[in-house]
Structure formats: C-alpha cells, structure tokens
Structure 1
Amino acid sequence: MLDAAVKALAQMLSPPMRSILWRSIGLALVLISVLAIGLQRLLSWLATSGESWAEAALGPGAHTPLYVLAWIVSVAAGLGIVFGAILLMPAITSLVASLFVDEIADHVEREYYPAERPGIALPFGVAMQEGIKAALLSIIVYLIALPFVFVAGAGFIAFFIATAWLLGREYFELAAMRFRPPEEAKAMRRDNAAVIFTAGLFIAAFVSIPIVNLATPLFGMAFMVHMHKRLSGSRPELIEPTRRPQASLR
C-alpha cells in the first residue's frame, strides 16, 4: 500500500500528468470561488434583511447596536465561508475527479501495467453521477459531524475518519468501474472494506494539506488504480517504467 502511494505521488509531476494537474486545480479553484461568492452573497443578504427587520421591530434607537451586530455576523460569516470551503474540499475534489478519472487511470495503466488489458472509459454521465453522489454524501456526513467540532477536537477526528471512508470509497469505485460493472465494483469495495478504508487514510491525509489538496484527484485516482490492480491480483513490473520491457512480471 505504501509502495502504491509512493508511485502515485511520483507520477503526479510526470509530464503526461501535468496538464491534468493544472486543469484539475483550475476547476477546483473555480468551484471553490463560486461556492464562496454564492455563500457570501446569501449571508450578506440575510444579515442586511435581518438588520432591517429588527430595526423596524425595535425602533430607530436600536440602529447602532444592530449595525454592530450585523457587522460581527458578517465577519463571522466570512470566516465561516473560509472554514466551510476547507471542509468541503473533499466534496469538491470528488466532483473534479469524476471529470478526469479516465485520463488519470489511462496514464497509470500505460506506465505500470502496459501488458494488461486497459480499462474501459466510464460514460460521462456515469462518472458525473458518481462524482455528484460522492459530493452530496460528503456534505451530509460533514453536516452530521460538524457539531462534534466543538467537543475537544473530536470533530476533527470524525472529519478525518469520514473523509477516509468517503474518498477511499469514491476513488476505488471509479477505478474498479473501468473493469467491472458498477454493482460488481461496489461489491468488491465492500469485500475489501478494511483495506480500502486504510488506503483512504492516505487520501484523507493528502486532502488535509492546504494548497496541496488541490491535487487530490490525481493522487487519489492514481493511488486507487494501483490498489484495484493489486486487489485484483495484478502486480506492477519490478523494473523502472522508463526501462521496462513490454511484458509484465508476475
């Protein structure tokens, strides 16, 4: 498993992967920006409307304290948006990964498993459906875990465990569905739940690093391609990829 993680990290900066890296980072930044701007506008509107309603109910004498309160709420909302964007990064990267799953997997398979049957590209609709489902599930799980953030750090442990489970599940199924029907891929994931959750811990650690986590789709997908191959009985060749003959060593 550690070897698979090292191979995924090493390949992320290879020339074939750089184009995907920059595109995935750009798309993630666009999604985060749109989400942040939308939330900021919504919260600002709610604060202004709430201030106007409260002033009408309490009278002109309450204008100054209500203005100060609205300002505090706006600052808190801004901080909440930043915090929320960090917590929603796994959901955003899941959505981004669904767009680049086949490009990433193709590069990994050609580099390390050239003699094996290549995977079949997922239909765009299926990939997007899986990405959206994973993103929505992430949001639901995080909302459930959010109250525990205020309990002596228990929330952060809960977030980390939830992220490991969610991202391990998402990336493994995307890798497996290139070779198996969706139901068979999900069944394989359930049969190897402990191994995949442990692998998900690597992805959760990666996505918890600010800035670096923008590259999570590349690391997570490349890592789980290796994990799926190994759980399927495949092994990467033992020779360096640049010197490797066109046959797999078993």
Structure 2
Amino acid sequence: MITPILKALDQLPDPRFRYVLIKAIAMTLGVLLALYAVVGYLISGIDPFSLPWIGTVDPGGLMTGLAIGAAMIASIFLMIPVASLCIGFLLEDIADAVEEVHYPHLPPATPPSLAVTVLDTVRFFGILVAANICALVIYILVAPLAPIIFYLVNGYLLGREYFQLVALRRMSAEDAKALRRANRGQIWAMGVAMAVPLSIPLLNLLIPLVGVAAYTHLFHSLRGRVSTPAR
C-alpha cells in the first residue's frame, strides 16, 4: 500500500498532474461555494421579528452567519462525497498521466463511455451520502468511536469505487470485481488512508488526485500477479 502512494506523490510535479489538480480544486470549491450560497439564500428569506426586552431580531443576518459556519463544519464531512463526485470526471486524465510515465508499454486503455461514467459517478455520490446519513445513528450511539467508524465506512466505499473505476479501463466488469474481491484488504486500507486526510481542509483538495494515481499503481501491481490480459 505504501509504494503506490509514494509513487503517486513523486509524480505531483508532473505538469499533467498540476493541470488536473487545478481542475479538481476549481470543481470542488465550486460545489462547496454553491452549498454555502444555497444555505445563505434560504436563511436570508426569514423576516425580522420582535422579542420582549430584546427588540427587533433579524434572523436573516444572524442565522446566515450561523448557517454558513455550520456548512463550513459540515463541509469537512461532505468533502468525501464532493471530492468523489468531482474526481469521477477527472479519473481518466489522472490514470493516463500515471500510465504514460510508469507503464508506457501498455496499449491505450478503453474506459467506459461518458454516459456510463456520469451515471456511475452520480450513483456513487448518492451511495456515499446515504451511507453517511445512515451512519449518523451509529455515530450518536457510540460517539467515542464515531471517527473510526466514519473513516472505516468511507475508506471502504472510496477504495471499492476508485479501484473499480481504474480497473474498468483495462478489464471487464467481472474481472475487475473478482480482482477487487480477492484483494479487498489492501484496497480498503488504502481507502482509509485516503479518507483520513480528506477531512483536513486544504489538504483534502489534493488527496483525490493522489488517491486515483495510487489506485492506478495498485491495480497494475495486483493485476501483474494474475494472468488477465491488458486491453
């Protein structure tokens, strides 16, 4: 698990990586800013009211600040699904950059169509959001273990999806699924290694790119142990 991550970090100076990183940051910040704008708009529509001994209270201004503050805190948790939503559209660029440098002997990959990529990305975004909403109950019941559960759940989901997307570029869905299941421990562990820094502001803007690059290396390492032909 360590070697693929180190290889991914070593390629960060690559101009193609920088280009993808800029796009990823722009998309991620755009989604988060849209979230803040929607929350602020909904709250600002509340009319002022009067309270005894206090006078007129403008909930719009007060609640907007509170809501945006809450949204900024929530964005720490939302960053995982938001990053996954954005990176799904950039995965091909990242994987190509990795393979061009480290696996130049391979033939061109045959990734899924744009329609399939969009549907799969949106589907996974929904799964991540639903899984974290369901996990809220567990977080409340066992609050001290909430961070561990959060990282384990999201690490599993991230690893499963990222590895599958990378694998589908070079093997059938059945072969990709079989390879993932046979190595679920390594794939899950790397997913957790991604999920932890994804909850750290600023650093989380870089992790999706590093994660996809690392999973590309992991995929080629695992595939090299079996006789599945490249495509």
Q: Which runs of 5+ in 1 are unaligned?
A: 235-250
- 1:206 maps to a residue whose letter is P
Aligned to 1:233: 224
Aligned to 1:118: 108
| Cα offsets for 1:154-173 (capped at 9, x unmatched) | 22222111221121112101
CA distance in 2, matches of 1:86, 1:156: 12
CA distance in 2, matches of 1:6, 1:138: 27
Aligned to 2:82: 92
User: Is structure 2 residue 124 aligned with structure 1 residue 144?
Assistant: no
Distance 1:80 1:123, change over 3 A: same
Q: TM-score, normalised by structure 2?
A: 0.85
- Alpha carbons 1:97, 1:217 under 8 Å: kept: yes
1:64 deviates by 4.5
Q: TM-score, normalised by structure 1?
A: 0.79
- 1:160 maps to a residue whose letter is Y
- Counterpart secondary structure, 2:112: coil
Aligned to 1:173: 164
User: Is structure 2 residue 202 aligned with structure 1 residue 211?
Assistant: yes
Q: Kindly tell me the number of residue pairs found equivalent between the two proteins.
A: 225
User: Is structure 2 residue 149 aligned with structure 1 residue 154?
Assistant: no
Pairing of 1:1-250 with structure 2 (within 5 A): 1-45=1-45, 48=46, 64=54, 67=57, 74-147=64-137, 148=139, 151-233=142-224
User: Which of the two has higher C-alpha Rg?
Assistant: 1
- 1:154 maps to a residue whose letter is L
- 1:217 maps to a residue whose letter is P
1:225 deviates by 0.5
Structure with the larger helix share: 1
- 1:6 maps to a residue whose letter is L
CA distance in 2, matches of 1:80, 1:169: 30
- Alpha carbons 2:109, 2:169 under 8 Å: kept: yes
- Counterpart secondary structure, 2:170: coil
CA distance in 1, matches of 2:70, 2:212: 30
1:40 deviates by 2.6
- Counterpart secondary structure, 1:12: coil
Relative contact order higher in (CA < 8 Å, ≥ 6 apart): 2
- Alpha carbons 1:207, 1:216 under 8 Å: kept: yes
- Alpha carbons 1:94, 1:170 under 8 Å: kept: no
CA distance in 1, matches of 2:128, 2:40: 21
CA distance in 1, matches of 2:100, 2:39: 42
Distance 1:66 1:122, change over 3 A: farther
Higher mean Cα deviation, 175-184 or 145-154? 145-154
- Alpha carbons 1:40, 1:81 under 8 Å: kept: no
What's the % identity of the aligned pairs?
A: 29
- Counterpart secondary structure, 2:104: coil
Q: Which runs of 5+ in 2 are unaligned?
A: 226-231
- 1:101 maps to a residue whose letter is L
Distance 1:73 1:66, change over 3 A: farther
Aligned to 1:243: none
RMSD over aligned Cα atoms? 2.7
- Alpha carbons 1:12, 1:18 under 8 Å: kept: yes
1:100 deviates by 0.9
Distance 1:200 1:192, change over 3 A: same
